[in-house]
Structure 1
Amino acid sequence: MSCIFCDIISKNREGHFIYEDDNHVVFLDKYPIDKGHVLVVPKYHYEKITDMPENKVGELFSKIPKIAKAIMTSTGAVAFSLAQNNGRAAKQIIPHVHVHIIPRYAEMGAVWTKRTIPSSEELDDLASTIKQNL
């Protein structure tokens, strides 16, 4: 079975990257809950966070403050939510560990179920803006 995130990481599928290092990538969610919604993903394929060595979990989560700050600066968000699901019953859609950083806006409230479908150009522009603020 092919993994969508592994395909994005290997650049075999489009991804709107805002950060990459030797072990992680961060890219915009293609179906964001709010503008600037990103996924923080380990490059190595782990299905669930319980499959990861503890130090790798720590590395993954250590990326969040810097990324969240850049997103908030770039988008004008006033807060952010984190989400990390493990297994189908927990609504993990892609079976590759990832952490959602979802910017929140005072005037919009924190709705978890709405999704938008921005164009590839909109995502490229937003990714570029966030990268400039890292």
Structure 2
Amino acid sequence: MIGELRPGCLFCDIAAGDKPGHVVLSDEVAAAFLDTRPVFKGHVLVVPNGHVETLSDLPAEAAGPFFLRVQAVARAVEAGLEAAGTFVALNNRISQSVPHLHVHVVPRNRKDGLRGFFWPRVKYADEAEIEDYAARVRSALDTTF
């Protein structure tokens, strides 16, 4: 684990299993789960398993292992969702809706309508559709780090 989980932090609570989340990856380094307000369906958030607020707060020795998980999730989103690519991004403080480091991995396809940094949000039809997207990413995930 990168650090201590902070009770009351939404992302720490999801990583700990104390709050529901459609988890696609969970290990000692990171947790990854579907964003509840996705840019596109299959949008995954990858968070350190331990409370870290910004990229600057991530211990240097944890950066490599953490970003290996981000890389694996990006590959899984492309493979599992048959996406042409991904948009991978993070915010530091500004526009960071939850004060816990999180990397967005968004499935992309040509002419999908995403332009610049305007991120329109979509909704899943229901819980079954959310779980279907999570299962597809989970099944494509290579966890050999």
TM-score of the superposition, structure 2-length normalised?
A: 0.84
Q: Does 1:6 align with 2:12?
A: yes
Match of 2:79 among 66, 73, 82: 73
Structure 1: gaps of 5 or more residues: none
TM-score of the superposition, structure 1-length normalised?
A: 0.90
Identical pairs, percent: 35
CA distance in 1, matches of 2:96, 2:140: 29
Other structure's SS at 1:100 match: strand
Match of 1:91 among 77, 90, 95: 95
* Large movers: runs of 4+ above 6 Å: none
Structure 2: gaps of 5 or more residues: 1-6
Supply the AA of the counterpart residue of 1:59: P
Q: Does 1:34 align with 2:46?
A: no
Match of 2:137 among 115, 130, 133: 130
CA distance in 1, matches of 2:92, 2:72: 24
Query: What displacement does 1:105 show?
Result: 1.2
Supply the AA of the counterpart residue of 2:95: K
RMSD: 1.5
Other structure's SS at 1:63 match: helix
Other structure's SS at 2:77 match: helix
Match of 1:100 among 100, 104, 108: 104
Other structure's SS at 2:31 match: strand
Q: How many residues align?
A: 132
